[in-house]
Amino acid sequence: MYPSVIEEYLRPGSVSEALAAIARYDEGEAMFLAGGQSAMQAMKSRMLRPQCVVDLQDVAELRGIVHDNGALRIGAMTRYVDIAGETTLDGAFGALRDAAAHVGDRQVRNRGTIGGSVCWNYVASCMPAVVLGLGGTLELAAADGGTRRLDADDFFLGPLETARREDEILLAVSWPAPAARSGSAYKKWGLVRDALPVVGVCITVTLGDDGHCTQARVALSGLAGGCQRAPAGEELLRGGNGDTAALARAMDAIADSVETHSDMSADADYRRQLIRSIGSEVAATAFARARGG
């Protein structure tokens, strides 16, 4: 498993250098390398055959977790280990830590990045579903100096597909200050601990003064169609107070509404069951975090 010929390897120190480097190549010839936890395998198996690799590991401005009056901005090159260890990511942002703490193994978490994961957008991965479930904004910059801000709903297009153009770099994922009484959570299931998700569920809820849910977002990972929202469940969660029976009804609705597939990890029926059992647990955690518990 050796890659095909790579003519040039570049390691820029800034975003502008990185964009300039990628602009020198035609479409499909050069690629950014983030933490390399998926891309290196894809290159070794020759699924990817870049002529030029632009390695972003020296671009310091792409790293870091910044809180600003409640708003949150996570640089694209921020590693899982940094997110998992960031104790300020709780309450409304709790799902980020839930997910980052269990991606791959320790070695993967020491190199893999949030930006790499969302740009790769593999079906069996956690971060795309979490960014979608938390309603994040993707900040992109292009060589011509242009920048774009895309909602997660518009960014994730399908398995291994996003709205990012190849000449664009993902700068960060960001969120405005969350509404009071917001909570999020994420959990996945795989045959072995910390495996790629067979099913993963991310839920964000915001509660009103009376403890009833006013806003809800649900996103799923592990489905053949890629990370996706589950509107049927969001609707049922809204207005509810998070009691067990109501959560179960919401998860039943999700399980019944999404298309699940059978593969060697789980059959379609069991995937629905996993959505129910994991989803109920995740929703309960999200409600508890929203209540400040």
Partner 1 sequence: MSAVENSADWLGARLARKEDLRLVTGQGRYLADIVLPGMLHAVFVRSEYAHARITGIDTSEAAAMPGVVAIFTGADFKDTVKPMPQPVVKPNLPARYPTFWPLAIEKVKFHGEPVAVVIARDKYVAEDAAECVYVDYEELPVVRDPEQALAADSPLVHEEDGSNEIFAMTLTGGETPEEQAANAAAVEEIFQRADVVVAERFRCHRTGITPMEPRGVLCDWNDSDGLTAWITTQRPHIDRLALSDLLEIPAEQVRVVAPRDQGGGFGVKAPFYRENLAIAYAAKALRRPVRWVESRYESLMNVGQERDQINDLEIAASKDGKLLAVRNRGVADNGVGTTGVYWGFVMPFLGAVELPNAYTWERGDVSLRCATTNKAALTPSRAFGHFPTRFALERAIDMVAHKLDMEPAELRRRNLVPSLPYTSVTGEYYDSGDFVKVWDNLMAQVDLPAFRAEQARAREEGRYLGIGFACGVELSGVASELLVPMENQPGYGAATVRLDPRGKVYVFGGDAPGGQGHETTTAQVVASLFGIRPSDVVVTTGDTGTTPFGSGSIGARAGSYFVSAVAKACAELKDKITRILAHDLQIEASVQHFEFTNGEIIYLGDAAKRKPFTEVVERIIMFPINLPEDEVGGLEHTAFFEAAKPMICFNADCCIVEVDVESGNFSIKRWVTSEDVGTVINPNIVDGQMHGAIVQGLSNAMFEEFVYDEQGQQMSADFEHYKLATAADVPDIEITYAPTPCPHTPLGTRGIGEGRPSSVPGALSNAVCDALRPWGVEITDLPLRPGSVWQKLREARG
Q: Are strands 52-55 and 8-10 parallel, antiparallel or unpaired?
A: parallel
Q: Give the distance, in angstroms, between the CA of residue 256 and the centroid of all CA atoms in the same chain.
A: 24
- Interatomic CA distance for residues 136 and 170, integer angstroms: 13
Q: Are strands 147-151 and 71-75 parallel, antiparallel or unpaired?
A: unpaired
Binding residues with partner 1: total (CB under 8 A): 24
Of these, 7, 58, 68, 105, which contacts partner 1 (CB under 8 A)? 105
Of these, 27, 145, 192, 209, which contacts partner 1 (CB under 8 A)? 192
In the complex with partner 1, the residue whose CB is nearer, 58 or 267, is: 267
In the complex with partner 1, the residue whose CB is nearer, 270 or 288, is: 270
Of these, 14, 24, 46, 149, which contacts partner 1 (CB under 8 A)? 46
By CB under 8 A, residue 110 contacts partner 1: no
Which residue bears the tokens 């790293």?
63
Cα first-last separation, the chain: 49
Q: Whole-number minimum distance, CB 278 to partner 1, in Å?
A: 9
Q: Whole-number minimum distance, CB 281 to partner 1, in Å?
A: 10
Of these, 53, 196, 251, 282, which contacts partner 1 (CB under 8 A)? 196
Of these, 157, 165, 267, 292, which contacts partner 1 (CB under 8 A)? 267
- Among 23-31, 62-70, 131-139, 261-269, the segment contacting partner 1 (CB under 8 A): 261-269
- Residue 166 near residue 28, CB atoms below 8 Å: yes
Which residue bears the tokens 């079906």?
123
In the complex with partner 1, the residue whose CB is nearer, 1 or 245, is: 1
By CB under 8 A, residue 195 contacts partner 1: yes
Residue from 293, 285, 291 nearest 95 by CA: 285
By CB under 8 A, residue 4 contacts partner 1: yes
Paired strand residues for 141: 147, 169
CA angle at 234 for the pair 288 and 114, rounded to the nearest 5°? 70
In the complex with partner 1, the residue whose CB is nearer, 124 or 169, is: 124
Q: Whole-number minimum distance, CB 153 to partner 1, in Å?
A: 28
By CB under 8 A, residue 245 contacts partner 1: no
Structural tokens at position 276: 């129910």
By CB under 8 A, residue 274 contacts partner 1: yes
Q: Which helix (H) or strand (E) holds 207?
A: strand 199-207
Residue from 223, 212, 214, 284 nearest 255 by CA: 223
Binding site for partner 1 (CB under 8 A): 1-5, 45-46, 105, 124, 190-196, 264, 266-267, 269-270, 273-274, 277
